[in-house]
Amino acid sequence: MSGFLRTGKRRNAKARVTVLPAGRSVQVARGVNLLEAIAVAGETVAHRCGGRARCGECHVLVRQGWRGLSKVRQAERDRLTQLCGAESLSRLACQAILGIHNNVIIELIN
């Protein structure tokens, strides 16, 4: 089987994630959530709920590459509406899965 998807992108290709304000960039496999990418970058983000979109502590702003992330599901949308400071660029790092976009820039809130 070919290593390419219909889009011509390699299945095992990496996505670059830049974590602000530190400015650290890492390459991670597609299909990884932003919480894991943040950890690879050497940053820490609290997440009491274990990645189930219940606490909102992993709230980040996606500055670039929004379209390359998974869609916002209902549980994440519900939690974001309850968070103080949430805006249109807000995502929960535990729920946002890296997709086809090659370059994602996120900003840590806490």
For residue 9, the model assigns a pLDDT of 54
Give the largest Cα separation in the chain, rounded.
47
pLDDT digits (tens, 9 = 90+) for 1-57: 444 445 555 566 789 999 999 999 999 998 999 999 999 999 999 999 989 999 999
For residue 83, the model assigns a pLDDT of 92
**Could you give the domains of the chain?**
14-108 (3.10.20.30)
